[in-house]
Amino acid sequence: MKFGKQFKQQKVPEWTDAYMEYNGLKRILGEILQYKQSRQPSTPLRAVHHKLTLHRPFSGLNPQSTNLPSKGDIEDQVIEVNTSPQDARKFYKTEFLRESEEGGELEAKFFKKLDEELNKVNTFYKDKLEEMKHEAHLLNKQMDALIALRIKMENPDFDGSDAKKTCDTGVVTTNPLKRCSPSRDTTSGRGHMELTIEVDRRTDYEQEESTHGPELHEVHATNYGNAHQEKDNLTDYNEDPMKVLERVKINNSLKSPLSTIKGVFKDSKEEELSFKKEEVKKVEERLRVVLIEFYQKLLLLKHYSYMNLAAFSKIMKKYEKISSRRASRSYMKIVDNSCLGNSDEVNSLLERAEATFIKHFAKSNRREGMKSLRPKAKREKHSVTFFSGFFSGCSIALLIAVVLRIQSRKLLDKAEGASYMVNIFPLYSLFAFTVLHILMYAANIYFWRRYRINYPFIFGFKQGTELGHRDVFLLGTGLSVLALSSFLANIYLDLGSKASNFKTITELVPLCLVTVVLVILFCPFNVIYRSSRFFFVRCLLHCICAPFYKVRLADFFLADHLTSQVQAIRSIELYICYYGLGEYSRRQNKCHSHGAYNAFYFVVAVVPFWLRFLQCLRRLCEEKDAVHGYNGLKYFLTIIAVLIRTAYELKKGRTWMVLALISSAVAVIVNTYWDIALDWGLLRRKSENPFLRDKLVISHKSVYFTAMVLNVVLRLAWMQLVLEFNLPSLHKMAVLTTISCLEIIRRGIWSFFRLENEHLNNVGKYRAFKSVPLPFTYYDTDADKDD
């Protein structure tokens, strides 16, 4: 693979604009090459000249060969790199010394662009490194509080006097909080993750180090050593470490319903330390996540440095090849001496983060600790591809078998058969809507990956557990095989002469199918993508319990998708009525004759929009952004439209129809504008791409205009449910199912562009990491309040 493609594929998606513009520099080199080729003689003369150059080195007749300047002199005569300090930073400016020669202007242009890219990359790297140092400083203080909390919980009478005595005697202890003045200078730069230690170097540890390498010795050192900080970093070494607990409180982020309710009745979101095991466990889990995220940031920053250094090296080699000038060594020396080329600080932070995590969160087991810090990338399995194709073929065959069975029995031509289909089809339409939604999600994942949209980061999937499009497609086709098999078995048993005595039992087939699906969904064993199943269940719980949980993107994204599954949710209500009220035993659906069913028929249609409305209120209260208030108003208008439309569906009448049309039209206009202008970020008149955005992931602009038109058309299809269809019940059910499927397709299209817009917002702000709140808050100084 060429370096240009490799460089593009290995970029951090959110940092794309911060990388060296490799292709732009290649274009300038292409102009230089084209200019040199245009100035060379015709092809025959060039061939003769090439042959002469091959023979001259061996002839010994070249009079200029002995007068060539040395390699270093040639480089000194080509370029001269100067540094100019600005805002305590170095900016590099290269002077091309051969600009007076033919084509020199293009080469000067190349070095000017090269300097711009080096300064850009160097500034970005420097800023990120400073952020990492500051975050390491905060993590130091968090770890101090955690260790103190552990000791206080295990030994409530601990007062720190023993630590001071130990420091006075100079004996190194195993207590990480007993900081003593170091016998030699072992501190590193300010803000680094401090795990530099003074240990008793025993002979057996030295033997293990020689056998297993320095990494094992580092782990043993952290086990028996004593972590200490710089004097200006936290506290003096002789200070009582337990005083740390007097200056911290638990930072309650209101993540659970109970914490949210408590937060409403408290003026502060902070809680006093209670020294309970449950409290320590929660704090440890949060700090564990924070430290893993910190480590991942460092890895990406190190990879960023490596890829840009490789890009500068490659582009300078191409320049030498095209221009026949030797300038690579001089320029790369400047690059290597820049902040970008010096990765010692990042490596030091990585080593210390590893040591901290292994000691405090992996029980000094390096192998287990590194599994959490560096999880293996998920590999595509051939079995997934095989079974996806197998289930797809089975689904098509079963669908054809169902159609042939219905046609052979001529069910649609008979009143009894039509009544049977009206009763049985809604029970299976739940699975049809679900399978279609899963297939749309699989298609979205395929295109997200193709256009390098970082969906695992946006949704917050744990690294290595996110599903690919093949995995999701396998789930969709597997569910379709289950549903179609059950449907075919239901039709065969109901309409077979031998099964006439088991009509009641055959009606339980849909219920058995639902039971099987629920058992798989909530199965606690590590089978069938347990991590993804639990992630879905967790997000669903957050949606149902809105607004008691903090709203993440995955939560409101799922809630938005639930608003497109109103008919599927009504099918769940139908299951409850059909089997709970015994309607299945009567061989007919009379659920609408029950007042409770009609009441819930209203509620069920509104529930998804109401949950989304509550999520908007929660975000409005937390983020104080008026946009969430307007978004909540949009869902409130939709709730009114759905209620009036449901009332018209049950009560009929021209007045209800007019009200339903007006309310639905208002909801469609508001929702359509919000989809295109805010969720997709389109319709920007003054952008570089008229009526689109400045940045687009898809190069073909027609795709965006087509998507906008489709969104409007499919929104209008949703309004068709308001109109009164003077059709038989079976045909009306078919129309309702078709429109519901179109709404699911519209939501699938919306999903791609919604996540694309979110991805571009992250790119614009260089957000490549999750923001994980710290568990402790220091409140003794103004500086600590920022923690």
pLDDT at 498 over 80: no
| Residue 286: HSE in the Cβ half-sphere, 13 Å Cα cutoff | 21
Task: Give dist(CA 665, CA 673) in Å, integer.
Answer: 12
**Range list of H helices, 79-158:** 104-154
Per-residue confidence band for 585, with pLDDT thresholds at 50, 70 and 90: low
Q: Which residues contact 511 (CB under 8 A, 6 or more apart)?
A: 575, 579
**Range list of H helices, 451-529:** 455-459, 469-495, 503-506, 509-521
Q: Quick one: which of 376, 371, 373, 354 has its CA closest to 215?
A: 354
Amino acid type, 395: S
* pLDDT value of residue 584: 63
Task: Give dist(CA 295, CA 370) in Å, integer.
Answer: 11
The C-alpha torsion from 291 through 296 and 297 to 301, rounded to 10°, is: 140
The answer to which of 281-295, 445-459, 642-656 has the lowest mean pLDDT is: 642-656
**Which of the pair, 456 or 232, is modelled with greater confidence?**
456
* pLDDT value of residue 358: 93
pLDDT of 110-128, one tens digit each? 989 999 999 999 999 999 9
Average pLDDT of the chain, as a whole number: 78
Three-class secondary structure of residue 271 per DSSP: strand
Q: Which residues of 661-685 are buried (b: 16+ CB within 10 A; e: fewer)?
A: bebbeebbebbbeebbebbbbbeee
**Which of the pair, 509 or 752, is modelled with greater confidence?**
752
pLDDT of 695-747, one tens digit each? 999 999 999 999 999 999 998 887 776 665 555 666 778 888 888 999 999 99
Task: Give dist(CA 136, CA 234) in Å, integer.
Answer: 12
248-251 vs 270-271, strand pairing mode: antiparallel
| Residue 551: HSE in the Cβ half-sphere, 13 Å Cα cutoff | 23
pLDDT at 269 over 50: no
The two tokens of residue 238 are: 């002789």
* pLDDT value of residue 189: 34
* pLDDT value of residue 120: 93
Task: Give dist(CA 470, CA 383) in Å, integer.
Answer: 10
The answer to which of 248-252, 601-605, 730-734, 782-786 has the lowest mean pLDDT is: 782-786
Q: What is the CA radius of gyration of the chain?
A: 34
Task: Give dist(CA 308, CA 17) in Å, integer.
Answer: 12
Task: Give dist(CA 704, CA 371) in Å, integer.
Answer: 42
The answer to which of 37-51, 97-111, 383-397, 675-689 has the lowest mean pLDDT is: 37-51
The two tokens of residue 299 are: 């890895």
pLDDT at 195 over 50: no
DSSP characters over 199-265: ----HHHHHHHHHH-HHHHHHHHHHHS-B---TTTSS-TTS-GGGGGGGEEEE----SHHHHHHHHT
pLDDT at 392 over 90: yes
Of the spans 221-225, 312-316, 783-787, which averages the highest pLDDT? 312-316
Q: If you average pLDDT over residues 686-692, what whole number do you get?
A: 90
Task: Give dist(CA 177, CA 194) in Å, integer.
Answer: 13
pTM: 0.80
Three-class secondary structure of residue 692 per DSSP: strand
Q: Tell me, what DSSP letter sits at residue 70?
A: P
Q: Rounded to whole angstroms, what are the CA distances from 516 to 121, 206, 485, 583?
A: 54, 58, 13, 22
* pLDDT value of residue 275: 62
Per-residue confidence band for 262, with pLDDT thresholds at 50, 70 and 90: low
